[in-house]
């Protein structure tokens, strides 16, 4: 199938490109330029693409022309401004990209001839965080205090409205939790921060070290997205779907740092701060619907997730190691 993937130059987008190619699909990408030290560049992801278009999704007309020229079977929309701290620095760009950009993607699918399914990716942060111990279900209230969370909640509601008003083929929303994996070099994310501290010998600042996060390998989360698309095509299923690990796989931030450093055989000097905006103490998803109706489950437990992630950073010099991890994952 022809799959159009937005945000293909990002962390998740790069991994998803490889997963789609491993399954034999033709991948067309729409995205902004990647960061210099991105996984996209390190793993030479462009060689796996049928087309690599650099378009700002806020540009409605250019985006529409590109989408119609591809005329894909499947659209997966990952492109976003995805950093909480950056959303405070540039809220207008965040809201425009995450809300208007999503609307432009949906509008660009109106005149496609071969479209069979559309998947819009939001986040676990679309839920109004009440500090509850149990995981949030797809029926829980949406909200968001920081600009990033609010913009993604708005994009989620926008997609639901557009589907009810204009949808002709299955449109679903995937809400994923915290992911880690090789090749992430983004600012203000725990694994990239650890790696930079190890490489530079600098102090590691932990934001809310005792915040509990349900850590999941990026491949497990993305595999959920692919399972959902397969069900959209085979049975016409739609709706909103959570993809997060079982609660037993949760760990606080300081615990993850300890596990990761042990796996790498490294040490870092740590400082802490509880005075950083946009962080939630506890946020977990109830993914029972995806497990039961989509037959999705994790292939990697927490110990394996940490090991696979550390293995990638140990093998950054091997250009094909990323694709080898994808093949190994599907073989599990």
Domains of the chain: 2-331 (3.40.50.720)
| Whether the predicted pLDDT of 141 surpasses 80 | yes
- pLDDT top residue among 284 and 27: 27
Chain mean pLDDT for the chain: 93
Average pLDDT score over residue span 67-74: 98
Lowest mean pLDDT among 80-89, 241-250, 302-311: 241-250
| Whether the predicted pLDDT of 319 surpasses 60 | yes
Whole-number pLDDT of residue 208: 77
Average pLDDT score over residue span 10-28: 98
| Whether the predicted pLDDT of 274 surpasses 80 | no
Q: How far apart are CA 148 and CA 146, in angstroms?
A: 6
By C-alpha distance, which of 258, 267, 252 is closest to 209?
252
Whole-number pLDDT of residue 276: 53
Whole-number pLDDT of residue 280: 63
Average pLDDT score over residue span 93-118: 98
Burial class (CB within 10 angstroms; exposed 0-12, middle 13-18, buried 19+) of 234: exposed
- 147 phi, psi to nearest 5 deg: -60, -40
Average pLDDT score over residue span 210-230: 93
Vertex 184, ends 314 and 34: CA angle to 5°? 120
Average pLDDT score over residue span 144-166: 97
Whole-number pLDDT of residue 177: 83
Q: How far apart are CA 217 and CA 178, in angstroms?
A: 8
Q: How far apart are CA 321 and CA 125, in angstroms?
A: 31
Count how many Cα atoms sit within 13 Å of the Cα of residue 255 in the half-sphere of its side chain. 12
Lowest mean pLDDT among 33-42, 148-157, 239-248, 285-294: 239-248
Instruction: Report residue 212's pLDDT band, with 50, 70 and 90 as the boundaries.
Output: confident
End-to-end CA distance of the chain: 24
Burial class (CB within 10 angstroms; exposed 0-12, middle 13-18, buried 19+) of 198: middle
Please give the C-alpha separations between residue 8 and each of 20, 37, 98, 238, 271, in angstroms, as whole numbers. 11, 15, 15, 23, 34
Enter the pTM of the model: 0.95
Whole-number pLDDT of residue 77: 98
Vertex 203, ends 200 and 206: CA angle to 5°? 125
- Top-ranked range on mean pLDDT: pick from 180-189, 206-215, 287-296: 287-296
């Amino acid at each position: 199938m022809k799959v159009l993937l937005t945000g293909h130059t990002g962390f998740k987008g790069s991994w998803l490109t490889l997963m789609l190619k491993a399954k034999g699909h033709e991948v067309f990408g729409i995205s902004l330029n990647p960061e210099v030290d991105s996984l996209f560049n390190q793993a030479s992801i462009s060689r796996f693409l049928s087309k690599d278009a650099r378009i700002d999704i806020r540009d409605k007309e250019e985006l529409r022309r590109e989408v119609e020229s591809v005329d894909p079977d499947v659209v997966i929309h990952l492109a976003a401004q995805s950093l909480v701290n950056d959303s405070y620095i540039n809220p207008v760009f965040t809201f425009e990209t995450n809300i208007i950009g999503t609307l432009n993607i949906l509008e660009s699918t109106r005149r496609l001839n071969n479209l069979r399914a559309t998947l819009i990716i939001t986040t676990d942060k679309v839920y109004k965080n009440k500090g509850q111990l149990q995981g949030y279900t797809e029926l829980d209230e949406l909200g968001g205090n920081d600009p990033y969370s609010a913009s993604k909640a708005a994009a989620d509601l926008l997609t639901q409205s557009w589907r009810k008003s204009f949808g002709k083929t299955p449109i679903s929303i995937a809400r994923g939790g915290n992911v880690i994996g090789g090749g992430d070099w983004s600012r203000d994310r725990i694994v990239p921060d650890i790696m930079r501290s190890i490489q530079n010998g600098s102090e590691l600042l932990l934001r809310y070290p005792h915040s509990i996060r349900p850590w999941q390998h990026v491949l497990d989360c993305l595999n959920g997205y692919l399972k959902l698309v397969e069900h959209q095509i085979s049975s016409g299923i739609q709706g909103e779907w959570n993809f997060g690990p079982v609660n037993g796989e949760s760990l606080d931030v300081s615990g993850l740092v300890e596990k990761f450093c042990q796996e790498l055989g490294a040490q870092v000097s740590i400082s802490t701060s509880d005075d950083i905006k946009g962080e939630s103490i506890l946020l977990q998803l109830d993914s029972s619907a995806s497990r039961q109706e989509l037959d999705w489950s994790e292939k990697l437990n927490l110990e394996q997730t940490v090991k696979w992630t550390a293995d990638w950073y140990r093998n950054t010099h091997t250009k094909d190691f990323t694709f080898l991890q994808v093949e190994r994952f599907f073989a599990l």
